[in-house]
Amino acid sequence: MAKAKKKTLIKIKWIRFPNDPSAKLNDALKKPLAFAVCGGTGSGKSSLVELLASHYAKVIDLFGSRDNEGLAWLRSGKVKKALLLKGSSVQVDCTCADVMDAGKFKISDAEPYDAVISASAFYSTLEEEWHCVSKIMQALWRRTHWRDPWALTIREASNLIYSRQNLGDNQALAKAYITYVVREMRHCGFAVCLDTIRWYGIDIDFRSVADYTFLKSQGIDGLPRDLRFLYKYFHPFGVMRCPVERFIIVSRKGPLGFGKSVMLPWHKQEHEDMLRLFDIKIKYSEIPFSGEKGLGKVGDYEHLRIIKARVETKHGMDKLAKEIGRSSRTIWLHINMHNNMVHAVGECDRCARANGQYAKTPVEII
The pLDDT tens digits for 84-125 are: 999 888 999 999 999 999 989 999 999 999 999 999 899 887
Stronger pLDDT, 350 or 179, i.e. the higher one: 350
How far apart are the two ends of the chain, measured CA to CA in Å? Answer: 81
The domain limits of the chain are: 11-284, 300-353
Report, as an integer, the average pLDDT of 2-12: 68
Residue 256 has pLDDT above 90, yes or no: yes
Residue 292 has pLDDT above 50, yes or no: no
Report, as an integer, the average pLDDT of 208-218: 87
Report, as an integer, the average pLDDT of 276-289: 80
What pLDDT score does 4 carry?
46
Residue 346 has pLDDT above 60, yes or no: yes
Look at 111-125, 156-170, 349-363 and tell me which has the smallest mean pLDDT.
Answer: 156-170
Residue 62 has pLDDT above 60, yes or no: yes
What pLDDT score does 287 carry?
55
Stronger pLDDT, 11 or 3, i.e. the higher one: 11
Band (79; pLDDT cuts 50, 70, 90): very high
Band (248; pLDDT cuts 50, 70, 90): very high
What pLDDT score does 333 carry?
87
Q: Which residues pair with 282 in a beta bridge?
A: 92
Residue 37 has pLDDT above 50, yes or no: yes
Report, as an integer, the average pLDDT of 232-248: 91
List CB contacts of 44: < 8 A, sequence separation 6 or more. Answer: 216, 217, 244, 245, 247, 261, 263
For the stretch 296-327, pLDDT in tens is 578 788 888 899 889 998 888 888 888 888 88
What pLDDT score does 112 carry?
95
What pLDDT score does 101 carry?
93
pLDDT averaged over the chain? 84
Among the listed residues 56, 87, 80, the one whose alpha carbon sits nearest the alpha carbon of residue 152: 56
What pLDDT score does 314 carry?
86
What pLDDT score does 181 carry?
72
Q: What is the dotted CATH code of the domain comprising 11-284?
A: 3.40.50
